[in-house]
Amino acid sequence: MTANQVYLLSRPARPFAPQTIWLTVRFFLIVSSLTVFSLSANLNQSLLPVIFEMTLKAVLCVEVVGYIYHRFFQHLGVFTRLSEIFRRSQRYHWNHHNVRYPTGKFYKRNVVYSASEQGIAWGWVLPGLAVAAAYLLYHGLNLPSLCFVTALAAYAKLVVSRVHERFHEGLNQERNSDYFRWLDQIHLLHHFDQRCNFTIVHPLMDMLFGTYMSPAKHKSELEMAVDEEKAIVSDVINWSYMLTEANPTEYATFVSDLRKHSRLRKKLKQVLEVFSARLIIDPTDQAARNLYLQASDLLNQTDPLLTN
């Protein structure tokens, strides 16, 4: 894949409105599936069916809410552009993608996973608490509700969160599993193009919402994602945002990170090469020209030889 192709892939591929319509319809159908079971209506039934039903509902709920939150509130989109609260979550996730676990040799390390949001990960805890509170308010405090909330927390923390951590830990027994290796490649493709593959445990939600990127069909992208010397689609998306849309606080954070991490400066140089390649192909591309000039200026600002 050429640098010009990477640039073109980073551009919006289709209008947002039609996608939103289909997204709303599919989301409605999925949420509706959470209420098709009626076992909990009879509180006198045996405990096992209640646990089974509530666990199934909790898993579906985590998958639906996790997909929506990851896609629209942790990555660049309409909501992160509207609210500073969502931008805060986006900044933590930007740090995960670009500072702690960028593609290349730092994507997977033989050390314990390091979270971007230290301490309590409120970026994920608050949505989880909101879902649990809404369920309890609607269904009341009873045995099925308690089973649902318990399963919700257990699946989110002990399964989804832990599997994601394993993706970035080089030494683990799960790597012997074909299923885990498949999920690992799916997640690597998410880091390659952050507009795809938002799910962790199974790509069902991505398949339903049209954001699934199959490892079997994108082997060249997988190879490129572990290449230390090339900028990828997510790099161009993130740096384009930082150069043109970041507020002063975000921009200052990015500049600070650039000065602290030499690999970020190296990545910015690679993104600069993408903009340059685009201008060679199409000198009239004003957006690419503006990005090239802004990236060059930022690189000069953060060059330790020039700033010391």
**Per-residue pLDDT tens digits of the chain, which is 308 residues long:** 899 999 999 987 544 445 555 665 666 556 555 554 444 445 555 778 888 888 988 998 899 889 989 998 888 877 787 777 778 788 888 889 988 998 888 899 888 898 888 777 778 888 889 989 988 888 888 888 899 999 999 999 999 999 999 999 987 666 778 999 999 999 999 999 999 999 999 999 999 888 999 999 999 999 999 988 899 999 999 999 989 988 888 888 888 888 888 888 999 999 999 999 999 999 999 999 999 999 999 998 887 654 44
The residue whose two tokens read 């993608």 is 97
Count of domains for the chain: 1
Collapse the DSSP code of 201 into the 3-class scheme (helix H, G, I; strand E, B; otherwise coil) and give the result: coil
How far apart, in Å, are the Cα atoms of 4 and each of 110, 190, 278, 295? 34, 20, 5, 17
Cα angle 214, 218, 219; round to 5:
120
Average pLDDT, the chain: 85
pLDDT digits (tens, 9 = 90+) for 7-43: 999 987 544 445 555 665 666 556 555 554 444 445 5
Q: What is the pLDDT, as a whole number, of residue 292?
A: 97
Q: What is the pLDDT, as a whole number, of residue 193?
A: 96
User: Which token pair is 287?
Assistant: 């957006």
Q: At what angle do helices 233-244 and 262-281 cross, to 10 degrees?
A: 90
For residue 62, give the nearest of 122, 142, 117, 131 by alpha carbon: 131
Which amino acid, one-letter code, is at 88? R
How many CA atoms are closer than 13 Å to the CA of 41, on its beta-carbon side? 5
User: Which token pair is 163?
Assistant: 């599997």
Predicted TM-score of the model (pTM): 0.88
Q: What is the pLDDT, as a whole number, of residue 25?
A: 60
Q: Which structural domain, as residue segments, surrounds residue 200? A: 3-307
